[in-house]
Amino acid sequence: MTDNHREDPNLFDAIEEFVMNSENIGIDPQIFHILDNTESSEEEIAGIEKMVDVKLALRLRNMSCSIYYGMHRHGNVIKFNDVITSIGMQPAKLFIIALTLFSRLGAAHKMIEVESFAVSAFAKILAEQMHMNEDAIERAEIGGLFLTLGRVLIAIYEAEKNVTIEPAFIEKHHREFAVKIIETLTLPEFLADVVLENRFVLRKNSLPVTGIVYLAKSLVEKLIRDFGMIELKSPMPDVVDNLETTIGLKIREYFSLIGLGQYLRVIRC
């Protein structure tokens, strides 16, 4: 990274101080302790529900009950420790962080959340279609979700301080702020690689996770630019009966359950 941020040191330093203050993230550190400990009891895991915002807990419940996470066919998840287990303890930790940050965005920045979830979903689907292993699929999904992390942090600062920051400043520095919060919260190291990369990466005969994430990002940006939302064409079941599903149905249900249904349109084909 360059030191060009010194052209506006007051703003850069103010945002950096804001980002480094864990109170501005709004997450109980005990949640991290529980989810980072593979020996945490069911009671401890279930207790997380009382440590997060009610709306956030509901969104996690909805996510875990969706076809997208393979639980819809088995009925609704009742116990919160089952919610965490169905998503995965580490992915759940990262989703809690992301959802907490998204909840602090103002209405003017809602599309950052929409873009983040769309990139996450498309990156996961691309990785699945390429028959990547479960670890790579999870990295693609989480990498897509956190790709705009720095922009989210700057947007939260704008909302908290009631200021407007120039797009050029955001474009230049959002990756730096993302890396700082990744290091502060000891998030997976691969996330720094994802957010710092700004090119389409190829391997000798395949795509790495960063390449898949940026392919998904390009697709999502085009859809939002063309339609002002995520618009897809997909075969859809005639009857939603838990016996037949399609990728389009999975995405539509997922967006609906996480409260972003109005930003997605699936056209039957």
- Tens of pLDDT, residues 69-84: 655 444 555 788 888 8
pLDDT band of residue 158 (cuts 50, 70, 90) is: very high
Whether pLDDT at 238 is above 60 = yes
Ordered by start, the domain boundaries in the chain are 4-268
- Is residue 105 within 8 A of residue 152, CB to CB? The reply is yes
What is the average per-residue pLDDT within 141-162? 93
In this predicted model, which residue has the larger pLDDT, 97 or 86? 97
DSSP sequence for 178-223: HHHHHHHTT--THHHHHHH--S----SSS--HHHHHHHHHHHHHHH
Of 15-29, 84-98, 169-183, 187-201, the poorest mean pLDDT is in: 15-29
Q: What pLDDT does residue 216 have?
A: 96
Query: What is the 8-class DSSP label of residue 162?
Result: T
What is the average per-residue pLDDT within 90-104? 91
Encode 81-139 in three state secondary structure.
Answer: HHHHHHHCHHHHHHHHHHHHHHCCCCHHHHHHHHHHHHHHHHHHHHHHHCCCCHHHHHH
In this predicted model, which residue has the larger pLDDT, 133 or 206? 133
Q: What pLDDT does residue 76 have?
A: 57
Question: How many whole angstroms from its chain centre is CA 69?
Answer: 15
Whether pLDDT at 7 is above 80 = no
- CATH top class, domain 4-268: mainly alpha
Up-side HSE of residue 87: CA atoms within 13 Å toward CB?
A: 26
pLDDT tens track for 15-64: 999 888 867 778 888 999 999 998 999 999 999 999 999 989 988 888 87
Q: What pLDDT does residue 27 have?
A: 86
The residues that bridge with 232 in the sheet, in sequence order, are 266
Token digits for 84? Answer: 């965490």
Q: What pLDDT does residue 3 have?
A: 47
Which residues make Cβ contacts (< 8 Å) with residue 101, sequence separation at least 6? 25, 149, 152, 153, 156
Whether pLDDT at 5 is above 90 = no
Whether pLDDT at 66 is above 90 = no
Q: What pLDDT does residue 4 have?
A: 47
Q: Give the Cβ contact number of residue 17 at 10 Å.
A: 11
pLDDT band of residue 68 (cuts 50, 70, 90) is: low
In this predicted model, which residue has the larger pLDDT, 3 or 236? 236
Instruction: Return mean pLDDT, the chain.
Output: 87
How many Å apart are CA 128 and CA 192, to the nearest integer?
22
Which residues make Cβ contacts (< 8 Å) with residue 12, sequence separation at least 6? 5, 6, 173
